[in-house]
Structure 1
Amino acid sequence: MQHDSGSVRSKLILMAVSTTFVALLSASIAMLLYDLRTFQRYWVDDLMTQADIIASVSAPALSFNDARSAQQNLAVLRVRPQILSGAVYTSSGVRFASYTQGTLEPAYPVKPGRPGYTIDRGELVVYHNIVDNGEVLGTVYLRARFGLVERMLNYAAILGIVLLISLVIAALVASRLQQGITRPLLAVTNVAREVMQRRDFSLRVPGNNPGEIGVLVAAFNDMLAEIGRRSHALQEANLTLEHEMQVRHRAEEALLVADRRKDEFLATLAHELRNPLAPIRTGLDILRIRSGDAQATQRATDIMERQLRQMVRLVDDLLDVSRINTGKFAIKMGRVELKAVVNDALEVVRSYIELHGHELAIDLPDRPVFLHGDATRLAQILSNLLNNAAKYTNRGGRVSLTARVEERDLVIQVADNGIGIAPDMLNHVFEMFVQVDSTLERTNAGLGVGLSLARRLVELHGGSIEAHSAGINRGSEFVVRLPIVVEPEMPTKTSPAAFMTSETYRILLADDNVDFVNSIGALLSAMGHSVVITHNGPDALTAAARFCPDYAFLDIGLPQMSGYDLARGIRRLSCGQMTLLIAVTGWGQEKDRQLAFEAGFDHHMVKPVRFEQIEEILSNRSVIKKVRG
């Protein structure tokens, strides 16, 4: 207690003494500077006056060359002991007479300086011209002691004594007055310490002090009462805050991981999209150089088609993930048969598996198994799993697909003897952009979206998927569970031959990709259709007005006029309402489809377009038209 009280008391006294000290010191310094300046001015004026007197009385001596009179005039300076020496110089700069205080011979200047004064090593030196009737006869030189340091020391000593006495008085007065402040503060300190030790907020500071101290004590007591009321609420808030901090910390870690995976994904995406371009470019060179070699042409075509399918697969996977994440992904549910789904999946990945020299084993139930789902998306699930197994298995490995029925569930297992999965990665392989092998030395890369897409598609079908692995280089297994249709019904699957038609139509093709549109036009013309090909919007609109097409396949990004404007223009034609408009574009988001339908299109196709898709549209003239807004 006494220590705390003494500390506060000492600080108050120190504050008062320090304030007094600073004020007095500032005043003392100001007075000292003023006195020194006044002292210097006084000495300069005095010595200049003395020099002027000697110059006046020495002018006749110089005029009559009376050195003795000049010497006598200088001898009068002995009554001024502060003047150390003096001299009279002629106009030519020759010393005419001189004076020295004491016996020590001073060093006189060889020639007099310019009129005025200087301070040299604690001495004041004055030069003054001797003038008679406007003519300069000579110069008076005086050197005197300039006791500025002594003056400053004496004055500082006086100010120091005054300052010390003032500080002692200030300390005594502050020590007397501080008790009215420290006593209430000491009481507040004691109560605060007890509250901290006992956590008892019912304690109060006694007394009724006037002034600001009393306000402080009352405010402190009110604060204790308020703290007591909020203590319990604060504890609950702390618990909530701790929980939120944990959640936020986990979220930040997740964001960091997502950011890292995003960077890895972008780098991998660039790598994966470049990979198919090299063999496609090589295939084009083969077609150009060896166009007459049918075998080489076929081999180049196979390579380019395989690489193109790989690029389309990458882009489709990204679009599907985007649609699922934005809630715009829809599946067409229906009754599908397991073997048909497996065949569709094998059609996609068989060439990739054979390219790597893998052994593929298929084991399916003997009886037909029917599922309620989207056949295309179910095949995509299996193709993604098979593609993943082939990708992460060394050349000449083994990939298997087995299926069995367990009560009301279909269990599909896709296994391989590849690089396997580390135990700490089993719970992460289905996350977006996660790759089991992320080293630069990996021979097969990927975007890290295939397994994530497969899991989301399985969940959309009401199923589940799990990953299993015995460890690195010990293979991996993915198990998919899907509900089955208990009472099977044989589905009818439309064969590609059903898309062919014996009818012929007037078809307008508008696309600035000359190779694409010319090749499609040649195929359609070979089937007997009347085809008009244009490469920009205005030409297409003119052709539509003259040709009145039954079908119009229009690119959206046309020169001079967009596909949307072209569609609106065709709809305004007299025969435009009878034309079936199909948008052909590289933009496949839901908003792009909506823009196409609003512009008047009946159908929306995403590049690259397969000829089978065009055949399917042509096979059914009564294709369902979208309601135009």
Structure 2
Amino acid sequence: MTGAMTKVREGGSVRRKLILMAVSTTLAALVAASCAMLLVDLRAFQRYWTDDLMTQADIMARVTAPALAFNDEETARQNLAVLRVRPQILAAAIYTSNGTRFAGYLAPGATGSATRLPLRPQASGYRIEGSEIVVFRNIVENGDMVGTVYLRARYGLFDRLLSYGAILGAVMLGALAIAWLVASRLQEALTRPLEAVTSVARQVMQRRDYGLRVPGKESGEIGVLVDAFNEMLAEIGRRSDALQQANASLEVEMQVRQRAEGALIVADRRKDEFLATLAHELRNPLAPIRTGLDILRLRSGDAQATQRATDIMERQLRQMVRLVDDLLDVSRINTGKFTIKSGRVELKAVVNDALEVVRPYVDLHGHELQIDLPDRPVFLNGDATRLAQILSNLLNNAAKYTNRGGRVSLKATVEDRTLVVVVADTGIGIAPDMLNTVFEMFVQVDSTLERSTAGLGVGLSLARKLVELHGGTIEAHSAGLGHGSQFVVRLPIVVDPELPAKPTPAAFIGGETYRILLADDNVDFVNSIGALLTAMGHSVVITHNGPDALAAAKRFCPDYAFLDIGLPQMSGYDLARGIRGLSCGAMTVMIAVTGWGQEKDRQLAFEAGFDHHMVKPVRFEQIEEILGNRSLIKKLRT
């Protein structure tokens, strides 16, 4: 124990001596070095100031020489005013070669002797006057002295001594250099990882970047702290990513819901407008039909009034059928059950069919109708009926939205194997924001109450769908409200087609007569059709239920049978099968006459044995056309 204590005391004594020797040596060296450096610095300081002022004087001499030569005092004063950027220079002056002061300068805040400029210059050189230094410098131009520059500036010797005294005091404290070195090493080992943690934490707070990590691998407690901090950042990053993904999903879902809600609102509004318009459009033709019926009832003996009422009723009925057919066609297209019967079709025939439909409507509104078609025949590959429906819908739409007495035109041209049809009008036009939505279902360009023929907003939508089914496109153009509109249809044409055989019109059918069976529970309809067929010379049997119709077919052996599907006691499907089972039923042409017009209804009719499917209301021209095609039906059967 005593030996150990002795070693400790001896170690402590040596330690104190080493510390004292190091401090004494360092202190002596610092004092000697400080004195030497102070002397050297004072001489360098004096040399620096004198050289600087002499250089400044030379510069002023060079820039002021032209002003002296041209006796330009203002330029000389401006040159001296540049010395304002040197706050150490208190005063300056320019003297001419004869010793007269030419220009002077006093620094702002100059006091004492600096405010008194010498009346005459002195010999070139410098001198120190207390805390100021004075410089005179001759101005030489082309070897001749043209003047003298005078400068007076502060000579901060005392300030320099104070600054060096402060430095010396600081250097004296360097005796603690060993402690500082030890402290710096400890600081490097301990505080460097902590500073790295602080820096990363600051960046994470500023940038919200949880992918940052404290670099390096430390040991001991500091290493545990760094690892824990990095792991904490990783966990926060994972939770932040999960939260951001959840927020993004919520934002997307919110946007989808908002769009869906907006679409539902628009759809609901259009539905309401459509229902209101549908009721209006259906009531419009019903009113003249009812009036026509009153005319027929009250003035049945007046042939002219009867014919006029019949024409009105027929025209209004066609309008109602057109509305219903458009709705059914759109429904079939949307459900994928709509098909077109493609074949070679001549453009003029399509246009004529369309004009036959819309010309009465155009004439009714007093419009001027202009048609411009190519001189040579143009053939398309498509469904003639549907192609005519496209043009009739566009022409009908143009006439509908054109004020009375306007102009409606149809122009067709061929551009590089493409038929371009432009239907234009001088009507109300289309607003720019409606051009992209005018082809959507139930959208109407003008839904105001003042326009009595607003339509259902179905025609253009159906036209676009039919055009697309034929491999074409349709576009709407308008210069704005009140400037009319144009609809441009582009369809592919058939190059060098085989000329199709023209069908024989019903009006030119021969006078052959047939045995015809009519079965329908609508007494007025079936009796009126029977009367017309009887007037044409045909043998007609009329029944109003299924069993009577089947019994009549056994007895009558009809060439044609027009059968309603919804018959009492036996459906039209069962009746058709029963007739087909008769000995003479194989040669009977059976036509289903029904109000059901979906594709599945047509398929059921054909499966039951029907040859044709007609949708009520039936025009008599349709019956005439079927009667004229009996030979074709027989050929197809064989």
Q: TM-score with structure 2 length normalisation?
A: 0.61
Residue of structure 2 equivalent to 1:520: 529
Q: Which residue of 1 aligns with 2:609?
A: 600
Match of 1:416 among 398, 422, 425: 425
Q: How far, CA to CA, are the matches of 2:381 and 2:286 in structure 1?
A: 38
Q: How does 1:377-396 map to 2 (within 5 A)?
A: 377-396=386-405
User: Aligned equivalents of 1:230 and 1:618: distance in 2?
Assistant: 80
4+ residue stretches of structure 1 with deviation over 6 A? 194-199, 221-227, 625-628
Size of the alignment, in residue pairs? 423
Selected match of 2:600 from 591, 604, 610: 591
Residue of 541, 560, 582 corresponding to 1:532 = 541
1:624 deviates by 5.3
| In 2: Cα distance, 1:526 partner to 1:539 partner | 24
Contact 2:292 2:312 in 1 (8 A): yes
- Tell me if the contact between 2:210 and 2:233 (Cα under 8 Å) persists in the aligned partners: no
Whole-angstrom CA distance in 2 between matches of 1:407 and 1:454? 23
**Structure 2 spans left out of the alignment, 5+ residues:** 1-202, 214-229
Residue 414 (structure 1) shift: 1.1
* 1:44-65 per-position Cα deviation (integer Å, ceiling 9, x unaligned): xxxxxxxxxxxxxxxxxxxxxx
Q: State yes or no: 1:261 paired with 2:270.
A: yes
* Counterpart residue number, 1:278: 287
Structure 2 counterpart of 1:352, from 351, 357, 361: 361
Matched, 1:619 2:623: no
Question: Aligned residue for 1:288?
Answer: 297
- SS of the aligned residue for 2:592 comes to strand
- Paired with 1:258 and 1:624, the residues of 2 have a C-alpha distance of 46
Q: 1:627 to 1:509 in 2, by over 3 A?
A: same
Deviation per residue, 1:149-201 (Å, 9 max, x gap)? xxxxxxxxxxxxxxxxxxxxxxxxxxxxxxxxxxxxxxxxxxxxx99997759
- Aligned AA for 1:546? R
Amino acid at match of 2:628: S
1:542 to 542, 546, 551: 551
Contact 1:404 1:412 in 2 (8 A): yes
Counterpart for residue 514 of structure 2: 505
Contact 1:265–1:448 (8 Å) recurs in 2: yes
Answer whether contact 1:505 1:550 (CA < 8 A) is retained.
yes
Matched residue, 1:479: 488
Query: What does the per-residue CA deviation read over 1:329-377, in whole Å, with 9 as the maximum and x for residues that have no partner?
Result: 1111111111111111110000101111111111112222222211111
Is the Cα–Cα contact under 8 Å of residues 370 and 489 in structure 1 kept in the other structure? no
Q: Is the 8 A contact 1:335 1:373 kept in 2?
A: yes
Q: Which amino acid aligns with 1:269?
A: L
Q: Deviations over 1:371-406 (max 9, x none)?
A: 221111111111111111111111111111111122
Match runs of 1:397-408 below 5 Å: 397-408=406-417
Per-residue CA deviations over 1:24-83 (Å, capped at 9, x if unaligned) read xxxxxxxxxxxxxxxxxxxxxxxxxxxxxxxxxxxxxxxxxxxxxxxxxxxxxxxxxxxx
1:433 aligns with 2:442: yes
Matched to 1:344, the amino acid is D
The structure-2 alpha-carbon separation of the partners of 1:196 and 1:564, relative to structure 1 and needing over 3 Å to count, comes to farther
Q: Which of 452, 466, 469 pairs up with 2:461?
A: 452
Distance 1:592 1:626 in 2: 25
Contact kept, 8 Å, 1:499 with 1:615, in 2: the verdict is no
Determine the C-alpha separation between the residues in 1 that align with 2:452 and 2:620: 34
Post-superposition offset of 1:238: 4.5
The RMSD of aligned alpha carbons is 3.2
1:338 maps onto 2:338 in alignment: no
Q: Which sits farther off after the overlay, 479-488 or 444-453? A: 479-488
Question: C-alpha separation between the residues in 2 aligned to 1:481 and 1:202?
Answer: 60
Matched, 1:581 2:590: yes
Structure 2 Cα separation of the partners of residues 297 and 319 of structure 1:
32
Partner of 2:260 in structure 1?
251
Where does 1:216-255 land on structure 2 (aligned, <5 Å)?
229=238, 232=241, 235-236=244-245, 238-239=247-248, 241-255=250-264
Q: Pairwise mapping of residues 59-98 of structure 1 onto structure 2 (< 5 A)?
A: none
What secondary structure, in the 3-state scheme, does the structure 2 residue paired with 1:444 have? coil
Q: CA deviation at 1:252?
A: 2.6
Task: Give the C-alpha shift of residue 627 in structure 1.
Answer: 12
Is the alpha carbon distance of 1:200 and 1:430 closer, same or farther for their aligned partners in structure 2, counting shifts above 3 Å? closer
Q: Matches of 1:565 and 1:612 in 2, distance apart?
A: 27
Which structure 1 segments of 5+ residues have no match?
1-193, 204-220
Residue aligned with 1:448, SS: coil
Determine if contact 1:603/1:625 at 8 Å carries over to the other structure: no
The offset of 1:467, in angstroms, is 1.0
Q: 1:424 to 1:607 in 2, by over 3 A?
A: same
Say which SS state the counterpart of residue 335 (structure 1) adopts: strand
Contact 2:342 2:383 in 1 (8 A): yes
Local SS of the residue matching 2:452 = coil
Larger-gyration structure (1/2): 2
Shift of 1:291: 2.1
The 3 A distance-change label for structure 1 pair 626 and 451 is farther
The separation in 1 between residues aligned to 2:597 and 2:574, in whole angstroms, is 19
In 2, distance between residues paired with 1:288 and 1:498?
30
The 3-state SS of whatever aligns with 1:275 is helix
Superimposed CA distance per residue, residues 309-342 of structure 1 (whole angstroms, 9 cap, x where no aligned partner): 1111111111110111011111111111111111
1:361 to 358, 370, 376: 370
User: Which residue of structure 2 lines up, in the alignment, with residue 319 of structure 1?
Assistant: 328
Any idea what the Cα deviations from partners look like across 1:393-444, whole Å, max 9, x if unmatched? 1111111111112222211111111111111111111110001111222232
Name the SS of the counterpart of 2:630 in structure 1. Answer: coil
Q: Quick one: structure 1 residues 626 and 254, their matched pair in 2 at CA, closer, same or farther if it must change by over 3 Å?
A: farther
Q: 3-state DSSP class of the match of 2:563?
A: strand
1:560 aligns with 2:569: yes
CA distance in 2, matches of 1:364, 1:617: 32
How much has 1:488 moved relative to structure 2? 4.3
Deviation at 1:579, TM superposition (A): 2.9
- Name the aligned partner's letter for residue 448 of structure 2: T
Instruction: Decide whether aligned partners of structure 1 residues 538 and 362 sit closer, same or farther in structure 2, where only a CA change above 3 A counts.
Output: same
Alpha-carbon contact 2:506-2:628 (below 8 Å) kept: no
Residue in 1 aligned with 2:47?
Answer: none
**3-state SS of 1:484 partner:** strand
How far residue 559 of structure 1 moved from its aligned partner, in angstroms, is: 2.4
User: Deviations for 1:86-115, whole angstroms, at most 9, x for unmatched residues?
Assistant: xxxxxxxxxxxxxxxxxxxxxxxxxxxxxx
Give the SS at the match of 1:276: helix
CA drift at 1:614: 2.2
Return the alpha-carbon distance in structure 1 between the equivalents of residues 631 and 373 of structure 2.
Answer: 39
Match of 1:466 in 2: 475
